[in-house]
Structure 1
């Protein structure tokens, strides 16, 4: 490679690497500014809660999910659980009905015809909300489990802050292999970015597996109108609508007790399909900062990948350039993930930090590309475009 190219490549690589490092440091600073929440010892529940659980082919998980919800340290008279059976082809509905508890209701989505162009999950949630009696809507997924103080932590935070929407943490657990541990490490970092983004007011994200919002706010923004054609986005895109209507009233709940746990994807195909599903809503983001941040991470990962591919052509120049970029990424990621491991008590995940770096580059580059090109994926037996 010529000396002129060296003069051009190195400053660009340095600038991209430093930009990533400063971005992570910015969000990490905001994460550290979020006060950790603990349910007050004198907490008096007074909020009726409707817990919504969309479920499709979740026979393997729905029982443990419901048992963990029914075991919450929260007054039975102030909670209801609505399971929306989304055309399951297994025994999901039968397992729900087998649990004899007056707090549980089952909605068969097949009884509510889907209007053309609408996504099943959003249609199911909207249907459940019309029948819910709670002031606070709490959403989770059928493959999730939570500790006994999850709901009390959510509601005590809501009563203390009087907000319209709360984003809680979601972690993976019970990992069995490198891929599952990588997902746990990666998602743990995403939770810190979620909290920091909301705290800073610069990047609002959330996860539908642990999300709460007032029924009045849902009605005020027209529910999922305008985003109901997208299979994903029942969390982040709804959050953007509520934040626009109620500025400053969407907060992150930094609480280990309020964390929801789910299982990582067991193989590469299901992992790719899951992340492809998440990525297909990128074009609908109403906040340009999210697109900008995701775009920068995507460009950095592709830059590192291309450096590795073409390294033999110019080992000195590209080697120096690669070293600069990857050093900045490793330095930033190490600080972010260590903070997450300390808060969530998952220091064990740091053992795979080094292989996870390469997996992260490959995953961001490939999924980011296909999410913007293919626009279709398979999820729970459905082909989605």
Structure 2
């Protein structure tokens, strides 16, 4: 095989890119794909305070709050809904629910927090009013996948565990946009759940997240990130999570389901808002996540360059190795998270990620929005 120096350099770059990708899949992401929960030392049931922040969410609360209120949980628990200065029918709706469900506690805020953008202030108030040590967080537009949600999420606690990371997928609907949204949600979970299993937890999602009240108070809540509109889930977890105090719960009955954005614009706005907090991650995680996404972005440009300037069949063979590993890991991880219907389009989704990284790159340097609603 005779190649020019340029051809060897290009092929070498392509090989390095693929090796980086394989390193992530074989050393990190396989941990979720092949995850089996360890047997627990005890089966203690904890008293739980579930907290939902709502700002003008009457319609969502009417549809989804009953799923939280009817949880099959025999131990002591409460459901706290923080009504954050709502101007719709939220107040009256919650009062009607409270007549039927004694576990519902309503915390009404009538004044906006000055200098604390986002939902961290109402969430902090909900946490401070909580009666119990184990906090279970979700959003007004989410509904538990089953009546076992509370039971399963609290069962993730064991000796030394202060944080349980859950999964919050979007509801399956027709159309390619829905599949792209659900795949991106899966791909994000593949990263944060796998890194948690690898001893490097760096985020959770507020749609389905649990941690101890003492952990929140001991770390002065959101004080260090109050100036940032987002981050009540990912940045807080990044700050307080460790290899020893974090567990995951991925049982399908422990998921929370959300209505997906219905338009491309709404989804992009949501993702831009989320990505603006990534710049505040710890340097090590920024490097690791950046190396993964950067190498993923380079796969296809490097493949094309290697096929043109070096040996096309060798480049394709190296690419095939990556795709085989990716297909196996994605298939098993998708089954773990009940997203297996997406696997048939894994090649399309891998191509899509190249474009997705390109589209989302500006969000990493964009200034965050100041409102959460």
Q: TM bucket by the smaller chain?
A: 0.7 to 0.9
What do residues 17-63 of structure 1 show as CA deviations (whole Å, max 9, x unaligned)? 221122111123322564337999x9563x22111112234333222
Equivalent runs, 1:156-167 vs 2, <5 Å = 156-158=155-157, 160-167=158-165
Equivalent runs, 1:158-307 vs 2, <5 Å = 158=157, 160-243=158-241, 248-286=244-282, 288-304=283-299, 306=301
Contact 2:32/2:194 (<8 A) preserved:
yes
* Residue number in structure 2 paired with 1:11: 12
Contact 1:307/1:318 (<8 A) preserved:
no
Aligned-pair CA distance for 1:325: 7.7
**Does 1:342 find its partner at 2:335?**
yes
What do residues 301-357 of structure 1 show as CA deviations (whole Å, max 9, x unaligned)? 44356569xx6x997228949857854653343223201222234322223323222
Equivalent runs, 1:7-86 vs 2, <5 Å = 7-31=8-32, 34-36=35-37, 45=45, 47-75=46-74, 78-86=76-84
* Residue number in structure 1 paired with 2:106: 106
SS, match of residue 60 in structure 1 = helix
Query: What TM-score results when the alignment is normalised by the length of structure 1?
Result: 0.84
What is the number of residues matched between the two proteins?
A: 367
* Residue number in structure 2 paired with 1:352: 345
SS, match of residue 155 in structure 2 = helix
Contact 2:163/2:211 (<8 A) preserved:
yes
- Return closer, same or farther for 1:39/1:202 CA change in 2, 3 Å cut-off: closer
Query: What TM-score results when the alignment is normalised by the length of structure 2?
Result: 0.87
**In the aligned structure 2, how far is the partner of 1:235 from the partner of 1:352?**
30
SS, match of residue 8 in structure 1 = helix
SS, match of residue 119 in structure 2 = helix
Say which of 357, 365, 374 aligns to 2:358: 365
**In the aligned structure 1, how far is the partner of 2:326 from the partner of 2:34?**
19
What do residues 134-173 of structure 1 show as CA deviations (whole Å, max 9, x unaligned)? 1111111111111101111122332x44521111122222
Moved segments of 4+, more than 6 Å: 37-40
- Return closer, same or farther for 1:304/1:268 CA change in 2, 3 Å cut-off: farther
Contact 1:114/1:120 (<8 A) preserved:
no
- Return closer, same or farther for 1:350/1:93 CA change in 2, 3 Å cut-off: farther
**In the aligned structure 1, how far is the partner of 2:152 from the partner of 2:251?**
8
**In the aligned structure 1, how far is the partner of 2:316 from the partner of 2:30?**
26
Alignment gaps of 5+ in structure 2: none
Aligned-pair CA distance for 1:379: 6.9
**In the aligned structure 1, how far is the partner of 2:246 from the partner of 2:321?**
32
Aligned-pair CA distance for 1:248: 0.9
**In the aligned structure 1, how far is the partner of 2:343 from the partner of 2:247?**
28
- Return closer, same or farther for 1:323/1:264 CA change in 2, 3 Å cut-off: farther
Two-structure CA RMSD over aligned residues (Å): 3.0
Contact 2:171/2:258 (<8 A) preserved:
yes
Alignment gaps of 5+ in structure 1: none
